[in-house]
Amino acid sequence: MPVPLFDTETLLAPLRPRILERISDVVAGGQFVLGPEVAAFESEFAASLGVAHVIGVANGTDALAIALRALGVAPGDDVVVPAFTFYATAEAVADIGARPVFCDVDFGTRNVTLETVRAALTPRTTAIVAVDLFGVPAPIPQLRAQLGLPVLEDAAQAAGAWLDGRRAGALGDAATFSFYPSKNLPCFGDGGAIATDDDALAEVARSLRFHGSRDKLTFDRVGYNSRLDEIQAAVLRVLLAELDGWTEGRRAAAGAYRQAGLGELVALPVVPEAASPSWHLYTVTHPRADELLQTLAAAGVQARGYYRVPLHAQPAMAPFVADQAPLPATDRLAAQNVALPISPVLGAAAAREVVAAIADATSQ
């Protein structure tokens, strides 16, 4: 049987009547922008995360840019970002006129470390972006305690994860989320959010998402037209109630891979102490990753190599990397990673099928 990389259809099928009912309610109510659904979702998501504020925005990239500006990052500043992550993390830094400074990551966890961030600091560094990559929380409390700089947690892939008893999204000075349809907490289009305990930061973020205004009359800042809309908020309210159950299903799927002997064939991701990942992606490594992907595709297993061209090697980032230090772990991960199928409904039989296909590939 084919094994999809993401299986959203199975998850959403039983919820579709409720979702369509909620969308119909929004249409009947006639309020589509910054209405009661957005306010209710912001309150419910904040309570789930254990933070004081959630500010809904149009997408995860806008969330990063707005959060960075609300943290005080200005044109000409340096912001440390991991080189092994999705392009938007660095794009948002450059978009506000700051300079992304790329740091290496730990090969096992795929995340930044205190040492890799410290090595990338410059006299102009005003903030750090730490990504909870693939749903594994980064060591954000340690970065905040040791480096004395604001840390923005990019939690786009980590809804449902925990570290030291706190939710991903509640670890930094602020955090950002994407609700893109393939994410662990998805909507039916684009959507994003900023989470924080900082009252002043939240006020700035709310202003920036609406053209730099608080009252539609006076415009104190040059902002954005970036609002989470009512229909997406209504969808998110339905799916937020499923998040913890879905996360347990993802953890069970990762456990099924391990029980099926996956670790004997490829290198598994490392889980930090006190972390409970949400496994947005279950990404293993192998020296012949591209050959492995070809064999899996022939067996009907959807898998993918992520970030084959890391950020410091992307053409648009060339102006920022003239003096880039070597990033050996990033380069190895970019060449060797293989994201395997993962979802809350990936059962033991499917996990065994994937592992059997990997066994065939690695024995050749």
pLDDT of 109-148, one tens digit each? Answer: 999 999 999 999 999 999 999 999 999 999 999 999 999 9
Smallest Cα–Cα separation from 77: which of 123, 129, 150, 126? Answer: 126
pLDDT computed for residue 215 by the predictor: 85
**How many Cα atoms within 13 Å fall on the side-chain side of residue 184?**
31
Sign of CA dihedral 340, 261, 279, 119: negative
- Determine if the pTM surpasses 0.75: yes
pLDDT computed for residue 364 by the predictor: 67
> Which residue segments constitute the domains of the chain, with CATH numbers given?
8-240 (3.40.640.10), 243-362 (3.90.1150.10)
Confidence of residue 311 (pLDDT cuts 50, 70, 90): very high
Confidence of residue 300 (pLDDT cuts 50, 70, 90): very high
Cα 310 to Cα 142, 215, 277, 296, 330: the distances in Å are 25, 42, 23, 23, 7
Smallest Cα–Cα separation from 151: which of 204, 72, 95? Answer: 72
Residue 355 is which amino acid? Answer: V
Return the SS3 of 100. strand
Q: What is the mean pLDDT of the chain?
A: 96
Confidence of residue 324 (pLDDT cuts 50, 70, 90): confident
Residue 328 above 90 pLDDT? Answer: yes
Tokens found for residue 233: 């908020």
Residue 86 above 80 pLDDT? Answer: yes
Q: Are strands 125-131 and 78-82 parallel, antiparallel or unpaired?
A: parallel
Provide the H-helix boundaries in 13-169: 16-29, 36-49, 60-70, 88-95, 114-120, 140-147
pLDDT computed for residue 54 by the predictor: 98
State mean pLDDT over 272-277.
96
Q: Are strands 337-340 and 275-276 parallel, antiparallel or unpaired?
A: unpaired
